[in-house]
């Protein structure tokens, strides 16, 4: 089946630095990718919708200048957490859809756990 | 805001059927019902989805009421590895938002 891969699976960084997380669709082209954040014992929260070749659409309350999303190709989207702070420590998960909206299965990556010291 | 309501937790005996309910009373005509599950510290896993007809695959069955205001996910023979948080999602036009889900615990 279709696979979405995230890298790195976990990362530790110092406060004030930037961290880039990659999300790749390995065997299908993903026009749309989604980025989620999940805090411990909570549900996934949609951060933004990333469309290939255009600007991402951010959810209310998500700072677009802090969470930079780039979707330069049909198989790769990146999330950069800029000037990370300890409160940005979280589990970041991407997903990608194959096919048309509503009719295609949404495939999820295995997540990237960010710890900011 | 999530468009679904699920019980926060459920228990099921190993080998028995697990029936997980979901209310989505405000569902609109073009919205699908999706079910995912998440095992601790992993990405969500797709289970099944449907529009208005009942659906079945190798993992589960999805029963959608005629008025589409609720649905039930059925795991026919639950195993210990089915212990997870199960999310029911109603979506239209790329709006894949997660509610709180149901934490299913399968017990020996």
Biggest CA pair distance of chain B: 41
Q: Cα separation of A102 and B100, whole Å?
A: 21
Contacts of A25 in chain B (CB under 8 A): none
* Burial degree of B8 (CB within 10 A; 0-12, 13-18, 19+): exposed
Residue A41 has pLDDT above 60, yes or no: yes
What does chain B come to in residues?
A: 108
Alpha helices by DSSP H, B56-103: none
Q: In this predicted model, what pLDDT tens digit does every residue of A43-61 receive, in sequence order?
A: 999 999 988 888 899 999 9
Contacts of B50 in chain A (CB under 8 A): none
Locate tokens 């600007």: which residue? A55
Q: How confident is the model at residue A87 (pLDDT cuts 50, 70, 90)?
A: very high
What was the pLDDT predicted at A44? 94
What does chain A come to in residues?
A: 117
Residue A100 has pLDDT above 70, yes or no: no
CB-CB contact of B36 with B87 (8 Å): yes
Q: How confident is the model at residue A31 (pLDDT cuts 50, 70, 90)?
A: confident
Q: Cα separation of B97 and B91, whole Å?
A: 7
Q: In this predicted model, what pLDDT tens digit does every residue of B6-63 receive, in sequence order?
A: 999 999 999 999 999 999 999 988 889 999 999 988 999 999 999 999 999 999 999 9
Interchain pair A102, B99: CB under 8 A: no
B8 at the A interface (CB within 8 A)? no
What was the pLDDT predicted at A30? 86
Q: Cα separation of B82 and B77, whole Å?
A: 10
What was the pLDDT predicted at A103? 59
| Mean pLDDT (whole number) for B81-99 | 87
Residue A104 has pLDDT above 70, yes or no: no
């Amino acid at each position: 089946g279709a696979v979405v891969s995230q890298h790195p699976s976990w990362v530790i960084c110092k406060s004030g630095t930037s961290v880039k997380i990659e999300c790749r669709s390995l065997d299908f082209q993903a026009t749309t990718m989604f980025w989620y954040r999940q805090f411990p014992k909570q549900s996934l929260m949609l951060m933004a919708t990333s469309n290939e070749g255009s600007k991402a659409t951010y959810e209310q309350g998500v700072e677009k200048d802090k969470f930079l999303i780039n979707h330069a190709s049909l198989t790769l989207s990146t999330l950069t957490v800029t000037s990370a702070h300890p409160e940005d420590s979280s589990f970041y998960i991407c997903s990608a859809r194959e096919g048309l909206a509503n009719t295609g299965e949404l495939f999820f990556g295995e997540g990237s756990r960010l710890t900011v010291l | 805001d999530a468009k679904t309501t699920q019980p926060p937790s459920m228990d099921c005996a190993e080998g028995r059927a697990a029936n997980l309910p979901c209310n989505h009373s405000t569902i609109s005509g073009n919205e699908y019902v999706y079910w995912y599950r998440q095992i601790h510290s992993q990405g969500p896993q797709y289970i099944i989805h449907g529009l208005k007809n009942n659906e079945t695959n190798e993992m589960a069955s999805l029963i959608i009421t005629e008025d589409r205001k609720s649905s039930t996910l059925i795991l026919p023979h639950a195993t210990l590895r089915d212990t997870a948080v199960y999310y029911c999602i109603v979506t239209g036009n790329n709006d894949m938002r997660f509610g709180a889900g149901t934490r299913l615990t399968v017990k020996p």
